Structure formats: C-alpha cells, structure tokens
Chain A
Amino acid sequence: MFEFLFKYPLSIYRQGTFIFLAGWPIWLMGLGVLAAAGVLGFLIWRQSSGSTRMGVVRRTSVWVLQTALAALLLFLLWHPALSVSALKPQQNIVAVVIDDSTSMTTNDENSTRKEAAEKVLNGGLLKALQEKFQVRLYKMSDHAERIDKLEQLTAGATATHIGESLKQVAADASSLPIGAMILLSDGADNSGGVDLETLAEIRRQRIPVHTIGLGRETMSHDVEISNVDVASRALPESRLGATVSFHQHGYTGQKAKITLKEGSKIVASQDVTLKAEGTEQVETVLFNPGDAGVKTIEAAIEPFPNEENLRNNRVTRLVNVDARKPRLLYLEGEPRWEFKFLRRAVEDDKYIDLFSILRTAQNKLYRQEQKDGKQGLTNTNELKDGFPSTVEELFGFDGIIFGSVDAPYLTKNQQEMVKQFVDRRGGGVLFLGGKDSLSDGGWAKSVDADILPTVLPDRKNTYSFVGADVELTPAGQDSLITRIEEDPIKNVERWKKLPYIRTFQDPGEPKLGAVVLANFIPKEGGGVKRPLLITMNYGRGRSAIFATGGSWRWQMLQPLADMSHEMFYRQLLRWIVSDTPQHVTGSTPKSVLADESHVKLRAEVRDKTYLPASDAIVEAHITGEGAQQETVNMVPEPLEQGVYGADWTAPQAGSYIVEVVAKRGTEEIGRDTFTFRREDGVAENFHVEQNRELLQKLSAETGGSYYKPSDAQKLGKDINYSQAGITVRETRDLWDMPAIFLLFLGIRAAEWLLRRRWGVI
C-alpha cells in the first residue's frame, strides 16, 4: 500500500534525501504561498461579504483549503524528488549469510527452516541478486564461513553467534565492496544478542543488513525452561531452593511436573499449574543436596505428549556442597531457656560447630562446644578468657550470636572487631532479644549499630514479657530461613499456629536494604505489628535480629515430634554462616557452559586478617574428564585488590574441578575448590522461536529491512539502494505520486462538499 501511494518502497525513503529539482530557492516558494494566501483571502472576503450564508468561520475554511491547494501546486512546481544512493550493478558484492545452526532443523509448517531458506534463495532471489551483483554465500554458526553453494549447508552447528558472524563478514568489507548483507535466520542467538560494538562497526561501513526471518514466532505447543537459579555452594544437608523460570504455549491451565534430579535420583518434584501463555512463570522447588561433593542437578519439566520441542525441557546446574563445617560463636549474657533450647535445636546438625560462652555468674564463664553432633570442648583452653580479643581468634569463626549481652561487656576494640568481622571477614552476626540486648544493652551507641539491620530505638525498656503471636511477611513466605513446611501455603498457616513467643523486643525500624521476614503481634497493648526477624547484607557479610528470647515455647508447647523450632534455628544459623567466605574464594561467572569453551576463572584472596592480599602467587589446578590436568597462573585484576583472574578454554564437554591455591612465598594463604561444566549441543535447543525483534532491530539499526519469506523476493529490488560498496547517486521524481493526486482531489472535493452543505453552490 505504501509503495502504491508513494511510488517507492519505504526503504528508499529511509535511505534517500528529499530534494527540489527546480533550483529555485525554497524561501521563494514560501513567499509564493503567502502571496497566494493573501490574494485568495482578499478575493474570498470580497466575494462573500454580502452573503449571509458565509460567515467568518466558513470563509476561513474555504480560504484554508484554497491556500492548501495553491501551496500544493507551488510544491509541485519546485519539482520534488528523492536522491538515493544505489549500488552500481556488477560492481558490488552482496553477502548472503545463512544460519547453519541446529535450530534451523526445526519443523515449521511442514518444512524445516533450512528448507525454507533454500526455497527463498532458489525461488528467484539468488538469481535476481546474481544478475546485478556478485553474491558471496556464508554459513553462520558461532562464526561465518564462506561456502560456494547452498548444498554445503548442514544445519548442524551447535551455536549461533549472529554478532560475531556479521562482524567477520563486515571485516571482509574493508577490502571488498560489500554493498549489503542479507541474513537468513531465525534469530535464535546464543551469545546474548548483537553487541553495540558490532552494530557500530557495520553502521560505520554503512552496510545495510536485510534480514529474512525464518520460523514461527511462537510455538503452538511447547514448554521451555528459560533459566534455573540455584546456589552454587551449600552446606551438606541444607535446604536449597532451585528457582525455575519457564514459559509455555498451548498448555494454559494444565498441570506440569517440575523435577530435580541428581544423576538418576529424583531429589524433589513439584506440581505446578501453568499460567497464561507466553508469560514467564517462576517456581521455587526445595531440595536437599545431600552430603559433601559436587552435585549435578538437572531441572526438568515433564514433557507433554504433543510438545514440539522436547530438548528445551531440561537445564543442568552444579552445586558444590562444601565439606567444611562453619563455626559459630554464641555469647550469651544470662542463663535462660532461649540459650538452652537454641543449643538443643541445632545439636543434631553435624555440619555446624557451635561454641558457646555463657556468663553464669559475675566473672564466671561457662564454655561449651557442639561439634560433629557431640558435646565437649575440643580444646579446653580455647576462649578461656571469654570473647576473642584478637582478630585472628574472632575471624576463625564464621558466625557470631549475641544473646542478652550488653555492648559495654565488650571492649571498644572487640566491638570494632565485630564490625570488621561482618564487613571485612564476611561473617554473619545474629542478635537475639533480651533484657541486655539491642537498645537496652546500649548497642545503639556502639560502632556495631552500623551492622544491625535496624535503627535501634533511642530509649530503654524495649524488652517485654508480654506474649506475642508471630506471622510471616511476604518476604518471609518466600524465604528459606522461615520455611518450616515445604509447601509455601502450608508454611504460612503453620507459622500462624505456632505458640506465642514469651518475650519480644522492639528492634526499631528496618534500614534500607534490610528484609523483614516475620513480625510479632503483642497480645496486649493494641496488638501493633513490629518486626521480629530482620536480615540484611552488610559489607561482605550479613546480620540478623531475632527480637525475642522466648521462642523456646515453640519447642515446649508443641508435641514432641514437632520439629519447627529445630528447623527454624538450623535454617537461621545456616544462613548466618553458609556464605561466609574463607581466605580464598574461587568462582566462575557460569557454572555450566552451554556450547562455549571459554571460561573466566576468578579468585578472591584474603590474608590472615582478611585484608585483600594483592601480592600472592595464585595458581588454578584444573582437572578435567579423564583426569587431564593443567595448571594456570592467575594474575591480579587491575581494579580489584586481592582479586585474581585467568582465562581458560575447556577443551571438551564434561565436568572440570578447579583447585585454586594462593601462597605468599612458601606459606600457603589458603585454597578453594570449585567446579564447572561444559555442555555441547544444548544452546540451540532453547529459544527456537523466531526472534523477530532481534532481526528487525538489526535491520533497522543498519538501514536495512526485515522481510518474511513470503515477501523476500522484493529484496531483489530494494537491495539496490545502499550507501556501502560502489554506488551511484540517483534521483527519483516524486511529483507523480498517486498520493499527491489524491491529495489534490481531496482538497477540491472537501471544498465542494462544504459549499454544498452550506448551500452556496
């Protein structure tokens, strides 16, 4: 329709420049319009002055229409035209890039995409191009490769990197007159899209990229997992959540089963109801990764019988279950039931060591240790004098719990050490409510007020023995700390039924960035909700307040078999310590490489006092499948103190274990082990729908156009216009556009109709 009205396709208008061929100055046309307006106005007023039917408004309307007509005539007199740059026939190259990845084997409407591409090219387009240009054929995967004929296409490449491929073709243009590129693809890029640098390079060379989109834009029956998020490290026997994001077409309202498997063993499964078509749905499936070791977790959605693509229903992730046993230090200021029952709640957790110091009497301390599920001090001299007074002693722990302890009990140095424990060491700190805790314990005036997740009230007597009920906040409903029932809905109900807590303490207002997981509602005094359980990340570590000393009732007032209290405290204490880093922490951005081999290794190295160690010698010892080993030196990252990096290429598919060792001279600072996995032949299984948006954007950004296969033959004509390659400037007349004729007729008809309506004809 556009071309019918405006004589030329839109692509020519985009590329062309609007000009007037008459050679007269434009201001003269403007003057002419003004003069015509003046004369017409005079004539209309003089002719209609005696007529009662032609009031001011009507005369003005007629004047406007006649002036418009005069303007249009003047416009035509000036001879409007379009100046376009056209490719010189036979002197330019057109690069035809055809997607050769496995997604092109997808069947759409009784033919594969590869077949559709061949049909478009063999259906006249290639011939039309070859008549005017030299045509270079390329097949595209994670790079572009020249081919001589279409028969060399295999649709077997395991990845699609459009940006990288076009960049290569554009690089040829620096030595060859490439006038345009034609990309035949479904746009299913695995590298995250076409980067700005590539676009800039193509734009700089003014090469338009015309895209022909292949394949359906949406599948009619498919469920696809977009992503799975799960912690890359965990303690043994933890409760982890795998957040599975997925979308579907064709199964709205139906039930699907998400399973998590480790090897052949199903570790968790959950039934979900599929939401609206195309919307991203997120479900969290809880699972226990088991004992120490590297766990390969496969998240899958059971396929439906008529599903079109079954290869996008499963995704693999790695979880490194740490063999280390974090140590928690619990300083309690007064013997009380909360102390007793907290220790009991976690005594069976073999993976957390709890060292407690209790102030039993003035100047008397009682030390206890729970380790490997057993009671008894490992070292009878450890912390004989109470709370650690050196950084090395304190930083040997992964987490701290303060019971009813007032801040002045610690020296200023110890208080500062606690702050550094969180900020620099990356440890976790939990404050419990108590008559000497929080505000009542003078913590508001301590340096440790900074690490608290709330702004403490500026008053005393914040601790109360009035009972209070507890309820989860929306954040608490999602949190694994407060998940005492697997099912989230049942969990909310379970919390509502917990016995009331014996005491509570006003913790103040949550800081920005703090998360309130549960509130308490006092049984007296109006029942105003206040935060009970609040968490926050601070520096490299984290802190929490559990503003009560009375949760022991969850144990005593519930049946013996009930494990709510145990589960809650175990999960809370694990949260305190799970992410506490050690002296060396190794990582990669992705634990699973999908059809890529490059991996960026990273290590963060801290010395004995957890200050960044920028002078360490760091090596990564990599062991792959079949026990092949390689050692890579890691070099300091320029902008990050204590951080070391290395690039490496995984030679084949499989799992790799990396042990990072950091030394200073001959002394070892520490070591860490992590894993990653390379998987081949998976990237192309996902996002197999035509990514029309990407293809359209690519062509729009480069001055090209997007075509469907059905109108791809037009490309034979449109491709003539480009600013790249060897071009010639051409002029296209616009005066004879049908749109101008219609406009002319329209103005005259409008005046006639108005006059007729007013009875002045």
Chain B
Amino acid sequence: MRLRAAVFLILGGLGTWGVLHAQKPFLSYEVAEEHAEASLPPDWERDAEWTRARLKYTSSTFEHPLPNNTGRYGWRTDYPLGDRHTLQGLLRLTRVDAKSVEQVVELDNSSDIYNWPFLYGVEVGHWSLNDEEADQMRDYLLRGGFFMTDDFHGTLEWDVFMEGMRKVFPRRPVVDIDNKDEIFHVIYDIDQRSRIPGAQFIYSGIPWEFDGFEPKFRAIYDDKGRIMVGICHNVDMGDAIEWSDDPRYPENYASLAYRVSANYVMYDLTH
C-alpha cells in the first residue's frame, strides 16, 4: 500500500515537473466578441520559430460580463481574430516565422510563460495582478521577455493599469518613447503616429475613448536601455487589425496598426 502510494507520488511529481518544465499545448478559449470569432487556420498545427502569447489575466472591473458568466472577458478582447490577423500580417510583411495561432498564457507560477518571450496584453485598463503574478511578470521581463499592452484608454484605465504595473516595477519610470528610438524604425519608420481608434469609431466617428484623446506610446526600459514593456495607450491596435478586412474600418489606421505591431515584434527580436 505504502509502495503504491510512493509510486503514484513519484509519478505525479515527475508529471508535475514535466508539466512545469514543458510548454503547454495550444488551447482554444471561448470567444467574447462575436466579430472576433475565427476558425482555426489550416496550418494551425504547424510548428514555428515565433509565437505570440496572449496574456490571460483576472479582470478588475468591466461592465460587459460574459454570456455564461464564466468570468470577466477583458483578456479575450479581439480574441482570436485580432491575433490571427496580426500573425498573418507578420508572415506577410516580415521574415518572422510566426505561428498562425496565438498561445494563451497565464502568470500561474508555472514555467509555461517563459516559453513565450513575446507577450501581448489587451484591455489592461481592466486587469488586476496579485503579488505572485506581479513577481512572475517581473522575473519574466528581466529574463528577457517583452510585454506589449494595447487597447486601454483614458486616465482611469491608465491608473488601473499602473496599479498592476507598479507591483511589477515599483521604481522603474514609465517614459514616453522618443521618436528616435529604434522601436519606431526597426522595420518601418513610424515617426508620424496618428490615432488608432477601436471599432467603435465605425459607429461613433470618435477616434478616442473616454479622455484618451492623444495616443501615447510609452515604455519601461531595462538597465541596458532596452524596452521591456511597450505600452500603447489610447490606441486600439487589436481592433484595427481585427477589423482590417472590414471596408468600413479606415485603411490608414489598420495599416499603421500592422506596422506598429511589426515594429514592436521586430524590436523585441533585435534587442
């Protein structure tokens, strides 16, 4: 009896260790937005050098609950069509061998997240990070990970974002990225950066949300002057790319979103 228990314990431990050190497989999650629904591309199983990871986080407050009330869907914004279009764009416009599907990851204290050094976080104006999650995010970034945030607007959402970010880096400043920074030139020269509104622009005609009038491209740098966290505030690149195949969405905003995304990915891979 004792022997059997010991065997199970050992096997369980080994399995856990294996899980902890191995990357998790691709999983599909419930879609939050009907428009963002997308079927799996034919090559979704193709292995590739680069994969974009989408951060799954716990929402703080958001006024649009999920139909099945299975939880806040903040992280599911634009999922998965926004990801799929972004990845197609990368494949089309660059030599990045990008996987055609995204990888959803969590700050769950497992080693999985470290397998995906490029992390995309959307609607982070409604996220929350507990202390353990913040510790892991910090560790992830300092080891060489890159975190790109998108689609959060105005002062209130900024404060919510920063509440979480300050747990990660209490003292590192958040600065506006200089135009000369390589992130704006690594593949495309993006000196002029206009607004990139969300899909609501199609209906409202208003290119901003809340009091987020001006697009802000900010960053947290590491000790060597490299951007670790690329903060895209008052823009909605996820929507711009998700809706890029809709003729109602302005092409110039979509193009800019593709170019900024490509630059951010390329910057991470070159710095």
Contact = CB atoms under 8 A, between A and B. Distances in A.
B21 A368 contact: no
A467 B97 CA distance: 18
Contacts of B139: 560
B97 A557 contact: no
Interface in B122-166: 139, 142-145
A404 B21 CA distance: 26
Given A366-B270, A557-B115, A465 B47 contact: yes
A333 B21 contact: no
A339 B270 contact: yes
A347 interface: yes
Nearest to B118: A337
A502 B266 CA distance: 20
Contacts of A364: 187
Nearest to A550: B49
B117 A552 contact: yes
Contacts of B50: 335-337
B7 interface: no
Given A434-B49, A553-B114, 6 more contacts: A340-B117, A340-B269, A360-B94, A366-B186, A404-B49, A499-B21
B115 A344 contact: no
Interface string B228-271: 00000000000000000000000000000000000001101111
A341 B144 CA distance: 8
B19 interface: no
Nearest to A523: B22
Interface in A442-456: none
A-side interface size class: 35 or more
B36 interface: no
Nearest to A368: B270
Nearest to B94: A361
Interface string A592-635: 00000000000000000000000000000000000000000000
A556 interface: yes
Contacts of A375: 224-225
B171 interface: no
Nearest to A337: B117
Contacts of B271: 340
Contacts of B31: none
A343 B271 CA distance: 8
A335 B144 contact: no
Interface centre among B95, B139, B142 (most CB of A within 10 A): B95
B95 A362 contact: yes
A467 B22 contact: yes
Interface in A468-519: 499-500, 502-503
Interface of B: 21-22, 47-50, 93-97, 111, 114-115, 117, 139, 142-145, 186-187, 224-225, 265-266, 268-271
Contacts, number: 87
A366 to B, nearest CB: 6
A340 B142 contact: no
Contact of A556 (B22, B114, B270): B114
Contacts of B225: 375
A405 to B, nearest CB: 11
A341 B49 CA distance: 13
A364 B114 CA distance: 30
Q: Which 6 A-B pairs have the closest CB atoms?
A: A465-B47, A335-B269, A556-B114, A336-B49, A334-B95, A361-B94
B21 A557 contact: yes
A726 B243 CA distance: 116
B95 A333 contact: yes
B97 A337 contact: no
B195 to A, nearest CB: 26
A53 B196 CA distance: 127
Nearest to B20: A557
A249 interface: no
Given A360-B187, A560-B142, A334 B97 contact: yes
B184 to A, nearest CB: 13
Nearest to B224: A347
A438 to B, nearest CB: 15
23 contacts: A334-B96, A335-B96, A335-B265, A335-B269, A336-B49, A336-B50, A336-B96, A336-B97, A336-B269, A340-B144, A340-B268, A362-B95, A366-B266, A368-B270, A404-B49, A435-B49, A435-B97, A465-B47, A465-B48, A500-B21, A503-B49, A553-B114, A560-B143
A360 B95 contact: yes
B95 A557 contact: no
A309 B195 CA distance: 84
